Amino acid sequence: MKNGQSHLFIPGPTNIPDRVRRAMNVPMEDMRAPDFGDLTKPLFKGLKRVYQMTSGRMFMFPGSGTGAWESAITNTLNPGDRVLMSSFGQFSHLWVDMARRLGLDVHCIDVDWGKGVPVAQYAEILAADKAHAIKAVFATQNETATGVTSDVAGVRAALDASNHPAMLYVDGVSSIGSIDFRFDEWGVDLAVAGSQKGFMLPAGLSMLGVSDKALEASKTAGMPRCYFAFEDMLKLNDDGYFPYTPPTQLFHGLRESLALIEEEGLVNIFARHKRLAEGVRRGIFAWEGCRLCAQDRQWHSDTVSAIVVPDTIDARDVIRFGYDRYRTSFGSGLGKVMGKVFRIGHLGDLNEVMCLAALASAEMALHDAGANVELGSGVAAAQDWFLSSNAVAIGVAAE
């Protein structure tokens, strides 16, 4: 018999707050009704606030973030366009693969898995591109497979330093809504997010922020597109409608999740994720033989930690024992780190005790898989951090 609840600590889909689940429990409704825009139009404005975006347009597509990736490329670029990308994990690799399959001329920098966007190399390449042959620069803000966060502001600075006109594309699927992201301030032109991460919804809705510059580029871009075409959305979105059947229940959930984000405030959300992530990291550092896949503190992600297990351990066993014996789901290693890494997702609707539960379950699963991990060591290290950091936070609030 399985008592109690199962525990989800993958980096997406994340846990859904009760308020959001209840908000989605509504009868089906007419997506062509005259008042349908009362539900949908505020969502575009709410998403812009999360993106920290004032101009441009926000689009929502039924589908995962991959769909919005494709929309961003096909609406704004031409076959054969030269683009600058980097690959340092499974998802940045897949973005490169998509760009190549869509006919772009990809200049890809291969980076060690455990590091992020190579800003210095980007700067050198952009400075040398006097003819401005590069039409777009891509940056994965948070590489979910390796637990690495990159410096998007640094990429913008590299573009500005060489006065380069290339558009800036950002994969923010596992960062937007959880990690600081500033569409306007960082001069981002296209940014992708997904419902199943920081927005605390089921998978099935992708969001795409588009700058005025990218909208202008879409008017002359020559790539084939249909389902993900901007022009079809633009004809209907202002009145709150869509060119095809929209995921109405997800819209109701998004309205509630945006309300939760507004109530907590972005600054507080970012600080909470940083604090909780640091607790998880300190727990991992206490485990003998384990380390983060992220190679240095500058790369540490506040939404997911990828843990490299000892050479004698298969990380798939850790995941299996966690699931079978302790009803806990951890993220698997992907691509070249399969079997070497398991992942703890710590984003969305999350608190200290949930993080401690993840560490406790991981310790038992590591022990069962044969790792020499002292039970309670990671939990105790995280508890020490949470207690000390909470005391500081309370002191600041009191002042």
Q: Are residues 248 and 298 in the same domain?
A: no
Give the pLDDT score at 390. Answer: 84
For residue 1, being part of any structural domain is answered with no
The whole-angstrom separation of Cα 181 and Cα 185 is: 9
Q: Are residues 249 and 197 in the same domain?
A: yes
Which tens digits make up the pLDDT trace of 258-297? 999 999 999 999 999 999 999 999 999 999 999 999 999 9
The whole-angstrom separation of Cα 1 and Cα 237 is: 49
Does pLDDT of 139 surpass 70?
yes
The whole-angstrom separation of Cα 242 and Cα 153 is: 33
Q: Using omega within 30 degrees of 0 as the cis cutoff, is the peptide bond preceding 13 cis? A: yes
Give the pLDDT score at 396. Answer: 45
Q: Are residues 235 and 309 in the same domain?
A: no
pLDDT band at 391 (very low <50, low <70, confident <90, very high): low
Residue 360 is part of a domain; what is its CATH number?
3.90.1150.10
The neighbouring-strand residues paired with 59 are 208
Sheet containing strand 190-194, edge to edge, reads 57-62, 205-210, 190-194, 167-171, 134-140, 82-87, 105-110
pLDDT band at 2 (very low <50, low <70, confident <90, very high): confident
- Listed in sequence order, the residues at least 6 apart from 22 whose beta carbon sits closer than 8 Å to its beta carbon are 256
Q: Are residues 218 and 325 in the same domain?
A: no
Tokens linked to 87: 């690959």
Give the pLDDT score at 393. Answer: 55
The overall longest dimension of the chain from CA atoms, in Å, is 67
Average pLDDT over the chain reads 96
Amino acid type, 140? T
- DSSP helix/strand/coil, 60: strand
**DSSP characters over 107-120:** EEEE--BTB---HH
Q: Are residues 68 and 151 in the same domain?
A: yes
The residue written with tokens 């308020």 in the block is 19
Q: What pTM was estimated for this model as a whole?
A: 0.96
Q: Which of 244, 263, 282 is where one domain is finished?
A: 263
Residue 389 CB-density burial (10 A; 0-12 exposed, 13-18 middle, 19+ buried): middle
For residue 63, being part of any structural domain is answered with yes
Q: Are residues 143 and 251 in the same domain?
A: yes
Give the pLDDT score at 134. Answer: 98
The whole-angstrom separation of Cα 87 and Cα 91 is: 8
For residue 325, being part of any structural domain is answered with yes
* Phi then psi dihedrals of residue 67, to 5 deg: -65, -40
Alpha helices by DSSP H, listed for the chain, are 18-24, 37-51, 65-76, 90-101, 119-128, 152-161, 212-218, 230-236, 248-264, 266-285, 315-326, 352-368, 377-398
For residue 251, being part of any structural domain is answered with yes
For residue 347, being part of any structural domain is answered with yes
Q: What's the domain count of the chain? A: 2
Mean pLDDT of 196-207: 97
The whole-angstrom separation of Cα 326 and Cα 201 is: 24
Q: Are residues 273 and 149 in the same domain?
A: no
Inter-residue contact 171 to 149 (CB < 8 Å): no
Q: Which of 227, 243, 263 is where one domain is finished?
A: 263
The residue written with tokens 């290339």 in the block is 166
Give the pLDDT score at 1. Answer: 56
User: Residue 179 has what DSSP assignment?
Assistant: S
Inter-residue contact 51 to 180 (CB < 8 Å): no
- Could you tell me the residue range of the domain that residue 137 belongs to? 18-263
Q: Are residues 229 and 300 in the same domain?
A: no
Q: Are residues 116 and 195 in the same domain?
A: yes
Q: Are residues 97 and 189 in the same domain?
A: yes
For residue 224, being part of any structural domain is answered with yes
Q: Are residues 29 and 147 in the same domain?
A: yes
* Phi then psi dihedrals of residue 316, to 5 deg: -65, -30
Which tens digits make up the pLDDT trace of 155-170? 999 999 999 999 999 9
Does pLDDT of 364 surpass 80?
yes
Does pLDDT of 144 surpass 90?
yes
- C-alpha distances (whole Å) from 277 to each of 171, 250, 305 are 20, 28, 8
Inter-residue contact 107 to 137 (CB < 8 Å): no
Q: Are residues 204 and 133 in the same domain?
A: yes
Give the pLDDT score at 65. Answer: 94
Tokens linked to 149: 């966060």
Q: Which of 263, 294, 310 is where one domain is finished?
A: 263
For residue 2, being part of any structural domain is answered with no
Give the pLDDT score at 316. Answer: 98
Tokens linked to 272: 């909470």
Which tens digits make up the pLDDT trace of 69-126? 999 999 999 999 999 999 999 999 999 999 999 999 999 999 999 999 999 999 999 9
Select from 237, 236, 143, 249 the least CA-distant residue to 195: 249
Residue 199 is part of a domain; what is its CATH number?
3.40.640.10
Task: Give the total residue count for the chain.
Answer: 399
